Amino acid sequence: MAESRSLPTGFGELEVLAVGTVLMVEALSGLSLNSLTILSFCKNPELRTPIHLLVLSLALADSGISLNALIAATSSLLRHWPYGSDGCQAHGFQGFTTALASICSSAAIAWGRYHHYCTRSRLAWNTAVSLVLFVWLSSAFWAALPLLGWGHYDYEPLGTCCTLDYSRRDRNFTSFLFTMAFFNFVLPLFITLTSYQLMEQKLGKTGHPQVNTTLPARTLMLCWGPYALLYLYAAVMDVASISPKLQMVPALIAKMAPTINAVNYALGSEMVQRGIWQCLSPQRSERDHAQ
Q: What is the pLDDT of residues 190-221, one digit of tens each?
A: 999 999 988 888 776 666 556 677 888 999 99
Give the Cα separation of 146 and 89 in Å (integer): 9
Q: Which domain holds residue 91?
A: 13-290
- Does 86 reside within a domain? yes
Q: Where are the alpha helices (H) located in 214-269, listed in sequence order? A: 215-236, 244-254, 257-261
Please state the length of the chain.
291
- Does 3 reside within a domain? no
Residue 202 maps to which CATH number? 1.20.1070.10
Query: With 0-12 CB in 10 A as exposed, 13-18 as middle and 19+ as buried, what is 138?
Result: middle
Supply the pLDDT for residue 289. Answer: 46
- Decide if pLDDT at 141 tops 90: yes
Give the Cα separation of 114 and 258 in Å (integer): 23
Supply the pLDDT for residue 90. Answer: 96
Strand runs labelled E in the chain: 153-155, 162-164
Supply the pLDDT for residue 3. Answer: 44
- Decide if pLDDT at 107 tops 60: yes
Give the Å distances, CA to CA, from 124 to 9, 49, 50, 52, 121. 53, 9, 6, 12, 8
- Does 6 reside within a domain? no
Range with the largest mean pLDDT of 8-12, 79-83, 150-154 = 150-154
- Does 234 reside within a domain? yes
Supply the pLDDT for residue 275. Answer: 57
Supply the pLDDT for residue 213. Answer: 74
First vs last C-alpha separation in the chain: 62
**pLDDT tens, 230-272?**
999 998 888 888 999 999 999 999 999 999 999 888 776 655 5
Supply the pLDDT for residue 36. Answer: 87
Give the Å distances, CA to CA, from 239 to 20, 91, 232. 23, 22, 10
Strand runs labelled E in 44-167: 153-155, 162-164
Cβ–Cβ < 8 Å for 113, 51: yes
Query: Per the structure, how many domains does the chain have?
Result: 1
CA angle 280, 286, 288 (to 5 degrees): 100
**pLDDT tens, 145-166?**
999 999 999 999 888 889 999 8
Task: Count each helix (H run) and each strand (E run) in the chain, helices first.
Answer: 11, 2
Give the Å distances, CA to CA, from 66 to 12, 35, 54, 251. 25, 11, 19, 12
Percent of the chain with pLDDT over 70: 86
Three-state secondary structure call for residue 42: helix
- Does 172 reside within a domain? yes
Name residue 163's beta-bridge partners: 154
Strand runs labelled E in 74-194: 153-155, 162-164
pTM of the complete model: 0.89
Q: From the CB of residue 214, how many other CB atoms can be counted at a distance below 10 Å?
A: 11
- Does 187 reside within a domain? yes
- Does 107 reside within a domain? yes
Supply the pLDDT for residue 288. Answer: 47
| Chain centroid offset of residue 109 CA | 14
Query: With 0-12 CB in 10 A as exposed, 13-18 as middle and 19+ as buried, what is 221?
Result: middle
Supply the pLDDT for residue 291. Answer: 43
Give the Cα separation of 7 and 247 in Å (integer): 16
* Rg for the chain, CA atoms, rounded: 20
Long-range CB pairs of 39-45 (<8 Å, 24+ gap) are 39/275, 39/276, 39/279, 40/266, 40/272, 40/274, 40/275, 40/276, 40/278, 40/279, 41/275, 43/275, 43/278, 43/279, 43/282, 43/285, 44/271, 44/272, 44/274, 44/275, 44/278
Point out the least confidently predicted range of 167-171, 185-189, 268-272.
268-272
Instruction: Output the average pLDDT for the chain.
Output: 86
Supply the pLDDT for residue 2. Answer: 46
- Does 1 reside within a domain? no
